[in-house]
Amino acid sequence: MEDTGNLNIVFIGSGAISTAIANVLSLKKQYEVSLLSIEKDVVDSINHDHVNTKYFPQINLDETLKATMDKSVLSDADLIFIGIPSNIVVGYIERHKWLINTSSIIVNLAKGFGPDNKTIPQGLSKVVPNQVISMKGPSFAREIINNMPTGLTVVSKRDKSFALFGEIFKDTSIYLDYSTDVVGVELASILKNIYAIIVGIVDAHYDSPNLRSLVLTKAINEMKYLMSRFGGKEETMFNYCGFGDFSLTALNDLSRNRTLGLLIGKGFFTADISEKVTLEGKIAVNVFIEEIAKKRQIKTKKLMMKELYRVFNDDDYDITNFVNSILSANGH
């Protein structure tokens, strides 16, 4: 796949992140780019009006970007980007692997755990022989669709495709850095949601730059510690997927997990809201504390994450004590 001029690129999913990155690539006028969708109204609006009416109704998409409901497009794809929720990624690829050419590169955009609390690349490697890449970073889709410069980390066990991705995204608004630390990058993209909730709770109680910076520092150190305990590299925190993605998620009100923290801190979060909204951070807290930490003998008693776990699971938790409790935690 040395020649990038005639690449066939398929995005599974027609949601915000798939549409945004697909449109960036379509603007180059070099590739055949298509969105594989299950939503007929979205497919029709993209193909006829060049607008994704569901996710970006005010944005005109590049006229070369196509949408389809025909899964046979997977058979001709050189690159398959996956832009669907993390909990269904592995199952989807397993069900449709018969359509996928073994030479296709699979690119995971989802942030979260796959089946059995494994990372998505771990799950995918069990069901297909394809090379699996992940792209993670501080990337609100609304910003990408407006061509704001955005950093993403490309990660794979082997670096043989890094040059290819550099060429594909050359002269676009997307800037790349690279890593072979698959475990570290995947964990960073999961952990940042957890610590964004914590920062949101803190900001709901105090509008204090000093306190915010203190908590941010503690959060980064906890993330580094947990990543290293899983065999990841601490320096991964300084890729786009690490500090960049964490700061975006923790400090911007477009972030759902920060917003969850603000709701909790102000006392507006209820069990009813919890049941109706899938929030990656809440799911990840429970998985880490109840299952992963125990298996790896990671002591969580003094982690800020453990205090957040109590918020979600203790019916009589007094949220007014949260800030003092995390400040009295002496780390790991």
- To the nearest 5 percent, what fractions of the chain are helix, strand and coil? 55, 15, 35
Mean pLDDT in order along the chain per 10 residues (332 residues): 76 96 96 96 96 95 97 96 92 95 95 83 94 96 96 95 96 97 93 94 95 96 89 94 96 90 84 58 83 74 90 88 87 58
Enumerate the domain spans of the chain: 8-180, 183-328
Predicted TM-score of the model (pTM) = 0.92
pLDDT at position 9: 98
Q: Are 135 and 153 in contact, with CB atoms under 8 Å apart?
A: yes
Q: What is the pLDDT of residue 256?
A: 87
Per the CB < 8 A criterion, the answer to whether 18 and 39 are in contact is no
In the CATH scheme, what is the code of domain 183-328? 1.10.1040.10
CB 244 within 8 A of CB 175: no
Domain 8-180, architecture per CATH = 3-Layer(aba) Sandwich (3.40)
Q: Helices 209-229 and 304-313: crossing angle, nearest 10°?
A: 100
Sign for the CA dihedral angle at 283, 288, 289, 291 comes to positive
